């Protein structure tokens, strides 16, 4: 039997948007009846299994029409990855008008942006009916461009905000449709929206939150997640964490000190501060671990622990770097390509083959055209680093004032003309691989000294 949902919104545009989204996600398992105050005042509501009300102010207007005991959800909202990219592409420091239909919706939208760490812009609220119009040229709106003042020169309409992962999970569980959360299309939708990770902590602190809802959210994460209470007892754990710890059975209700004894949890509760990632050994595996306090009423009520298999994470990072670099930065030549009958050259080749088995730095000297780069590529391909990038740098061809930023990279805004988002340095690109510094003697002496420190 299909479940019935009543969707109540302020405007018709968003009612139609939610109708389509819920239909796409829950398919023919639901029947939807949509109401909008923009069409007509709401004086009665149909009998439904679930009532979704888009803003809290609207709940007080319609609660008398909701049957007693029926489930009501006021969903939280988020934006998609593509909407996020539109916003972060705006130059840092820009004043931007955020426009929505009501004061409440406008403040919710700005709060969402801040929760998503979009902190490089100065957001100024504007809503329908506001008397004083800010003197700002750029406006962002989630599908409410009709309310943007005419004086605005640039309009960025990112489209309607979507229901966030927390609320979608709550809807699915409330309708006894949580099995749909495991469907590929549902997972793909959740991957395409921004998830505020702090939501996991707030969910944990809600007394009326169902355990199944939290677990469903945790299992979406790529990281291993463990949540403990103030005594260190595990009260939530996702499948990824069990995989990282090589646990076949649940670790629920076990004390975390027995599972990961290397972490000083007593000290952690006293400091109440987030710890940085560090490496530990668990079951002979190298694990990266980070701990985040769950604060409730000013007290640490638990811990959120993020863990990953370090080498698995590194392998995934390597795959991403490979995609980023495309087909470049590969060594073509091997020792089989170096053909000679010269006895001295044969000795050099044998020595190079031995050096390839070591991770030590190798100095190759010789006149131009004697095959230094060929030897460098052959050494790389004969080493255990052969599956990783080979990055060749002609130090003489890059100006001194640019060479340092090319080698070590830079962050956004590091200097005039710096690329938006910064740039990865060649040393980072060659992670686990080989950097071939050609014509190194032509480098500035100060830069040679810095480079020597890196090599040491």
Q: CA–CA distance from 136 to each of 118, 156, 158, 159, 329 (Å)?
A: 19, 13, 18, 20, 46
**Residue indicated by tokens 């005039």:** 416
Q: What is the pLDDT of residue 416?
A: 54
> Is 197-309 a CATH 3.40.47.10 domain?
no
- Put residue 445 in one of left, alpha, beta given phi > 0 → left and psi -120 to 50 → alpha: alpha
HSE, side-chain direction, 13 A CA sphere, residue 169: 22
pLDDT tens for the chain, residues 1 to 456: 789 999 999 889 899 999 999 999 999 999 999 999 888 888 999 999 999 999 888 888 898 999 988 899 999 899 999 999 999 999 999 999 999 988 888 998 999 999 898 999 999 999 988 888 999 999 999 999 999 999 999 999 999 999 999 899 999 988 989 889 889 999 999 899 987 654 544 444 443 344 556 666 777 777 889 888 877 888 888 888 998 998 888 888 888 888 888 776 666 666 667 778 888 888 888 888 888 888 766 677 788 888 988 777 666 665 655 555 555 567 888 888 888 888 888 898 889 889 888 888 888 888 888 888 899 889 998 998 888 888 888 877 777 777 777 777 766 656 555 556 566 777 777 777 888 888 887 777 877 787 777 666
CA distance 300 to 15: 40
Q: Tell me if 334 sits within 8 A of 327, measured CB to CB.
A: no
Q: Are the C-beta atoms of 428 and 409 separated by less than 8 Å?
A: yes
pTM passes above 0.85:
no
3-state percent helix, strand, coil for the chain, nearest multiple of 5: 40, 20, 40
Residues in the chain: 456
3-state secondary structure of 57: helix
In angstroms, the CA 433 to CA 383 distance is 9
- 37 CB-side CA count, 13 A: 13
Query: CA-to-CA distance for 177 and 161, rounded, in angstroms?
Result: 23
Give CA–CA dist 79/82, Å, rounded.
8
User: Which pairs with CB-CB distance under 8 Å and at least 24 residues apart come from 85-93?
Assistant: 86/156, 86/158, 87/113, 87/118, 87/121, 87/140, 87/156, 87/158, 88/118, 88/120, 89/420, 90/120, 90/121, 90/138, 90/156, 92/120, 92/121, 92/412, 92/413, 93/120, 93/121, 93/122
**Cα–Cα distance measured from residue 68 to residue 81, given in angstroms and rounded to the nearest whole number:** 38
Mind listing the pLDDT tens digit for each residue in 86-137?
999 999 999 999 999 888 889 989 999 998 989 999 999 999 888 889 999 9
The residue among 376, 426, 380 whose CA lies nearest residue 406 is 426
CATH of 327-455, one of 3.40.640.10, 1.20.140.10, 3.40.190.10, 3.40.50.300: 3.40.50.300
Q: What is the pLDDT of residue 360?
A: 86
Shortest CA distance to 42 belongs to which of 63, 22, 67? Answer: 63
Angle (CA) 8-11-12 rounded to 5° is 90
Q: Which residues are 154's β-sheet partners?
A: 138
241: Cβ contacts below 8 Å, ≥ 6 apart? 224, 225, 226, 251, 305, 307
Identify whether the C-beta of residue 49 lies closer than 8 Å to the C-beta of residue 70: yes
Give CA–CA dist 194/95, Å, rounded: 23
Q: Let me know: does 8 contact 54? Beta carbons within 8 Å.
A: yes
Q: H or E element: which one contains 25?
A: helix 12-26
Q: Identify the H or E element spanning 380.
A: helix 372-381
- How far is residue 237's CA from residue 217's CA, in Å, rounded to a whole number? 11
**Helices 12-26 and 184-191, axial angle in degrees (round to 10):** 140
pLDDT in tens, 382-393: 998 888 888 888
Exposure string of 40-51, with b = 16+ CB inside 10 Å and e = fewer, is eeeeebeebbbb
Cα(268)–Cα(131) distance, integer angstroms = 50
The first and second tokens of residue 227, run together, are 């949540």
Is 357:383 a contact under the CB 8 Å cutoff?
Answer: yes
């Amino acid at each position: 039997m299909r479940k019935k949902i009543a969707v109540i919104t302020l405007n018709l545009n968003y009612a139609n948007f939610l109708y389509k989204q819920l239909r796409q996600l829950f398919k023919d398992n639901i029947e939807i009846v949509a109401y909008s105050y923009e069409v007509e005042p709401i004086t009665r509501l149909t009998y439904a299994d679930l009532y979704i009300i888009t803003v809290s102010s609207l709940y007080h207007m319609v609660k008398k029409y909701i049957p007693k005991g029926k489930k009501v959800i006021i969903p939280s909202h988020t934006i998609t990855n593509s909407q996020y990219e539109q916003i972060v592409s705006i130059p840092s420091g820009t004043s931007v008008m955020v426009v929505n239909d009501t004061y409440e919706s406008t403040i919710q939208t700005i709060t969402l942006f801040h929760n998503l760490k979009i902190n490089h812009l100065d957001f100024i609220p504007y809503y329908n009916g506001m008397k004083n119009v800010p003197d700002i040229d750029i406006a962002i709106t989630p599908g409410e461009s009709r309310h943007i003042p005419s004086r605005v020169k640039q309009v960025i309409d990112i489209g309607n905000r979507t229901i966030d992962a927390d609320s979608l999970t709550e809807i699915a569980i409330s309708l006894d449709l949580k099995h749909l959360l495991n469907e590929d299309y549902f997972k793909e939708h959740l991957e395409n929206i921004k998830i505020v990770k702090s939501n996991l902590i707030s969910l944990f602190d809600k007394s009326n939150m169902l355990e199944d809802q939290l677990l469903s959210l945790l299992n979406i994460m790529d990281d291993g997640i463990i949540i403990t209470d103030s005594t260190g007892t595990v009260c939530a754990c996702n499948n990824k964490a069990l995989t990282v710890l090589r646990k076949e059975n649940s670790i629920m209700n076990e004390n975390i000190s027995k599972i990961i004894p290397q972490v000083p949890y007593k000290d952690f509760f006293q400091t109440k501060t987030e710890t940085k990632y560090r490496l530990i050994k668990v079951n002979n595996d190298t694990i990266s671990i980070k701990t985040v306090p769950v604060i409730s009423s000013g007290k640490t009520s638990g811990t959120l622990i993020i863990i990953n298999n370090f080498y698995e994470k590194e392998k995934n990072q390597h795959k991403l770097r490979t995609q980023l670099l495309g087909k470049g930065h590969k060594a073509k030549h091997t020792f089989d390509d170096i053909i000679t009958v010269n006895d001295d050259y044969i000795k050099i080749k044998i020595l190079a083959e031995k050096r390839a088995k070591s991770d030590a730095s190798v100095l190759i000297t010789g006149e131009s055209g004697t095959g230094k780069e060929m030897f460098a590529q052959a050494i790389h391909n004969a080493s255990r680093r052969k599956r990783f990038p080979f990055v060749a740098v002609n130090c003489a061809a890059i100006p001194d004032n640019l060479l340092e930023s090319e080698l070590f990279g830079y962050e956004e805004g590091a200097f005039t003309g710096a690329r938006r988002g910064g740039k990865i340095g060649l040393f980072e690109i060659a992670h686990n691989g080989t950097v071939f510094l050609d014509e190194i003697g032509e480098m500035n002496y100060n830069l040679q000294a810095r480079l020597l420190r890196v090599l040491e």
